[in-house]
Amino acid sequence: MDEEQLKKLVNEVFEESFETNTEHLKADAMIFEDIGLDSLDIVDLVVALQKKFKVQIRDDERIRNIRTLGDIYQFVINLKDEGHIPEA
């Protein structure tokens, strides 16, 4: 799975779980301000990402530093590079 496929899967999480319009899904989009998630949505986001990528991330401290969609892309790419995301 390459980086573009990972980004597409992350975008699917936002489209399916939060009904986010595709035009809002840009790497520099701020999670709270631009995409419109709130603190409760973050819990749902973590759960949805865990299901989508079959990985446990709830206790990963790096989640606290995520501010933009690009940060999520990079987080997921790093998980794959570290071998946490199985090849599909």
Which stretches of the chain are assigned E, i.e. beta strand?
A: none
Partners of residue 18 on adjacent β-strands: none
Q: Are 34 and 17 spatial neighbours (Cβ–Cβ below 8 Å)?
A: no
**What digits encode the pLDDT tens for the residues 14-25?**
999 999 999 999
Domains of the chain (ranges; CATH) run 3-81 (1.10.1200.10)
Q: Tokens 């790093």: give the residue.
A: 78
Question: What mean pLDDT value characterizes the chain?
Answer: 94
- What is the model's pLDDT at position 88? 60
**Cα–Cα nearest to 45, from 24, 15, 87, 22:** 15
- What is the model's pLDDT at position 49? 96
Joined together, the tokens standing for residue 88 give: 């599909």
Average pLDDT value for residue range 59-81 = 95
Q: What percent of the chain shows pLDDT beyond 90? A: 90
Output the pTM of the full model. Answer: 0.92
